Amino acid sequence: MRAMFVLGVGLSKKLLILMNKLSKKIIDEAIKKNVEDALREDIRKIDLSENIIMGKKKACGVLIAKQSAVLCGSAWFNKTFSTLNKNIQVKWLFKDGDYFKKGSKLCEIKGPYQDLLKGERVAINFIQTLSSVATNTHELTALIKNFPTKIYDTRKTIPGLRIAQKYAVLTGGGNNQRLGLFDQVLIKENHINAFDNLENLLKQLKKLKLTNKIQIEIENINDLKLALAYDVKNILLDNFSIKKIREAIEINQKKALLEASGNITKKNIIHYAKTGVDRISLGALTKNIKAIDFSVIIHPF
């Protein structure tokens, strides 16, 4: 477990403890790159509307929630404005992981009028996306809170925002499966195809002494029995019915960690959790999202 840290905004102790893979360095690097890329995309070398605001007016702004949700992305919001002007001040009234209601004032911003205008859209784009992921995750975890089953994300993320979205999953109460191909092996159908069948692959993994260090995706009960015979300790049940998951749990007898995935939604997730499966992974946490509606209102002072 890595040391706890703060990202410039108040984070809950629970959220900090959950961040075992997302170190401070990884998140800081992601925030910096995400913000720089987004500002370059929006402004390039000039803001053509900049000269409309004459002089060096000071301004204050407020971030208003236009719907209820779970807040996420404060550090990305802050970094957007500090990158444009280090003198911009952002005062948060909520922290990441907090639930807020429609109409809530989430933060106050003060600084040069022109710089607030430059940053408002980019800052909102981050927070609307990450709050959506956090809210989506929160709603799903709340549905199965009375069961031991844990919710995990996948690699089905927006290109360039992998770390940001996985941070948002943690903020919403979920867990990270793997960050990418570099930190954990998940053997899937296309890997198995390279060996013609699962047993050939398992024989190779056993030679390499990897059967208890990787996760394997299987599609039927026979493959489950084979994986268990080779001492695989982490097994993903791909598109198993609830009946088949119960059968798999009975066969497994807690020898391996079992994860259910495929066609699991808000409508049926509680039925999967009732089986007692260890984990449920959902690509929907990060890809089936609808942006949360925010607005920034700015006035001179």
Length of the chain (residues)? 301
**Pairwise CA distance, residues 161 & 91, whole Å:** 25
Q: What is the pLDDT of residue 54?
A: 61
End-to-end alpha-carbon separation of the chain, Å?
A: 47
Contacts of 86 (CB under 8 A, 6+ apart): none
At 171-205, the pLDDT tens digits run: 999 999 999 998 889 999 999 999 999 999 999 99
Q: Which two tokens stand for residue 184?
A: 């954990």
Give which of 128, 121, 9, 122 is closest to 74, Cα–Cα.
Answer: 9
State pLDDT tens for residues 221-240. 999 999 999 999 999 999 99
Q: What is the pLDDT of residue 20?
A: 56
Which pLDDT score, from 0 to 100, does residue 44 have?
82
Q: What is the pLDDT of residue 238?
A: 97
Residue 119 has pLDDT above 60, yes or no: yes
- b/e 126-144 (16+ beta carbons within 10 angstroms → b): bbbbbbbbbbbbbebbeeb
Beta-carbon count within 10 A of 23 CB: 13
> Is residue 56 within 8 Å of 124, Cβ to Cβ?
no
**pLDDT for 23:** 87
CA nearest 92: which of 71, 111, 114?
71
Structural domains in the chain? Answer: 13-142+290-300 (3.90.1170.20), 146-287 (3.20.20.70)
Distance CA 83, CA 146 (A): 43
State pLDDT tens for residues 39-78: 999 998 776 676 676 667 899 999 999 999 999 999 999 9
- In this structure, what token pair is assigned to residue 254? 């807690």
Q: Phi, psi (5° rounding) for residue 215?
A: -110, 140
Evaluate the CA torsion angle 182, 188, 193, 199 in order and state its sign: positive
Q: Specify whether the CB–CB gap between 157 and 166 falls below 8 A.
A: yes
- Amino acid at position 127, single letter: I
Average pLDDT over residues 16-36: 82
Q: Quick check: 11 pLDDT over 60?
A: no
Name the CA radius of gyration of the chain, rounded.
Answer: 23
H-state helical runs in the chain: 13-18, 24-43, 74-84, 113-143, 162-171, 189-193, 198-207, 221-229, 242-252, 269-273, 284-287
Distant-in-sequence, close-in-space partners of 15: CB < 8 Å, separation ≥ 6: 96, 97, 170, 171
The pLDDT value given to residue 10: 42
Sheet containing 150-152, strands listed edge to edge, beginning at the edge strand earlier in sequence: 150-152, 279-281, 257-261, 234-238, 215-218, 186-187
